[in-house]
Amino acid sequence: MKSVPHDRIELRHAPSAEDTARLRVARARDVLREVLVEKTYGKIAVVSSFGSESAALLHLVAEADPSTPVIFIDTRMLFAETLAYKDALIRRFGLSDVRTVSPDGRVIRSTDPYGRLHLSDTDACCGFRKTDVLREALKDFDGWVTGRKRFQAATRSDVETFERASDGKVKINPLAEWSKEDIDAHFAAFDLPQHPLVEHGYLSIGCASCTSPVKAGEDARAGRWRGSDKTECGIHFENGKLVCPATAGAGE
């Protein structure tokens, strides 16, 4: 019996949704091993909000290396539930290098002494409470890992796994291709704890002053800065525009 050339073999069945989901998880693990263990891109930190979906990425980070630096920005306007959830996930995953960074008290007193800047200029508020703080925290790193995913909002629909910023730092988004169903399945498979506010309809969680529950049919980030055209805090922007995806290096 003559053998059939490999290029002529036809698959009888297309990959199932479960197969595809497993491949996405495997790819995310491979990416994190490459950047956190093999250190292909130099010194890398993970930036986490410890929000509604953060446990999925942090679980995979802890699998790769629980001593990975994790940067958490405390804007001084977060929900108490977020701060408690952070502590719970640190214990659960054994994360040993979570670095909480915040705006300097003197800057707060000079820029937003009454905590009301978000009512008149949300970009300026996010700028000094998040963007400036993160820039300083990342100055000694060659890049950072984020939890951004394409399904979260129209502004994230073209997020790639690897991006290069104008400052030369590489931005890694291991879960870029994951769907909401992938996230939910990962939480269920590993019995990951939910953020306490999720059960109250908060699907994307930032500062308490600018976050509201999401209504049926809205995208996950619809509750952020409700009533305005703002959809991002600014840490993924350069000169007012989203960072354009770019290949971080040969072979990616």
pTM: 0.83
Separation of alpha carbons 103 and 97, rounded Å: 20
Respond yes or no: is residue 126 known to be catalytic: no
Average pLDDT for 58-87: 98
pLDDT value of position 30: 97
CA distances from 162 to 139, 218, 251 (A): 19, 28, 11
The model's pLDDT over 175-234, given as tens digits with 9 standing for 90+, comes to 998 988 999 999 999 999 999 999 999 988 999 999 999 888 877 778 787 777 665 555
Classified as helix, coil or strand, 234 is: coil
Average pLDDT for 106-111: 95
pLDDT value of position 50: 97
Q: What percent of the chain has pLDDT over 90?
A: 63
Using CA of residue 175, residue 178, residue 183, residue 188, what is the dihedral sign? negative
Q: Which domains does the chain have, with CATH numbers?
A: 16-242 (3.40.50.620)
Q: Given a cut of 80, is residue 242 above it in pLDDT?
A: no
Exactly one of 125, 126, 207, 233 is catalytic; which is it?
233
Please choose, from the candidates 172, 180, 217, the residue with its C-alpha nearest in 3D space to the C-alpha of residue 52.
180
Residue 242: in which H helix or E strand, if any? strand 241-242
Which residue has 């055209």 as its token pair?
229
Please choose, from the candidates 210, 217, 215, the residue with its C-alpha nearest in 3D space to the C-alpha of residue 200.
215
Average pLDDT for 24-48: 96
| Cβ-based neighbour number of residue 163 at 10 Å | 23
∠ CA 17-21-23, nearest 5°, is 120
Q: Given a cut of 60, is residue 243 above it in pLDDT?
A: no
Classified as helix, coil or strand, 154 is: helix
- Which amino acid appears at position 1 of this protein? M
pLDDT value of position 233: 56
Task: Compare 87 and 9 and report the one with higher pLDDT.
Answer: 87
Query: What is the chain's Cα-based Rg?
Result: 20
Please choose, from the candidates 138, 182, 183, 175, the residue with its C-alpha nearest in 3D space to the C-alpha of residue 159.
175
pLDDT value of position 2: 47
Confidence of residue 156 (pLDDT cuts 50, 70, 90): low
Classified as helix, coil or strand, 171 is: strand
Q: Given a cut of 80, is residue 252 above it in pLDDT?
A: no
